[in-house]
Chain A
């Protein structure tokens, strides 16, 4: 399968714990996006990389959130000191050229208890 892959698919964690998610984009894509989605809402933009450079971060991305794409390939999203409000689906997407469509992974569903 050469699509976008995310790991893990599901994560249950206790409030206050740190979690890290991984995304492997389509191999030839240099753009990678992280979104968060809650029930009944569209995906909300979190952050965006072009190659290894993080070009944009949403105001939604508090200082508890950090994302990296160290070699311009896979990316990680870390949430420190998780809160119940962090419970959501975290979606990763990748695209090739500017102005082209993005392809999504299956997401990581986070539940903070």
Chain B
């Protein structure tokens, strides 16, 4: 079993739609969680950290469920520019960041 698992997609949604991605992690000792965005042939860039209480940044909302060991990302009012791969990232503290394989989002006009 992979340490961090994501649905690879692709998720094809129309502009303005709301879309949600989930990610599960296997290490219950994981301490910090992030969503990164990666455009084609570019490096991953931090989208947002995920806090236990949940957090929101504009159209993006991240949630953490420690009991079920999953995190989620909700994107409201999708834009064409949101088309990218979204990487779920988990950090157990002493270890390096562990990445999921990514979920590809394609927002269509």
Chain A interface (Cβ < 8 Å from any Cβ of B): 33, 35, 40-45, 48, 55-56, 91, 93, 98-107
Contact = CB atoms under 8 A, between A and B. Distances in A.
Interface string B43-56: 11110010000000
Interface residues of B, number: 24
A41 B46 contact: no
The prevalent SS among residues of B at the interface is loop
Interface in B70-98: 87, 91, 93-98
A45 B96 contact: yes
Given A42-B87, A42-B101, A91-B43, A100 B32 contact: yes
B43 to A, nearest CB: 4
Contacts of B93: 98-99
Nearest to A102: B97
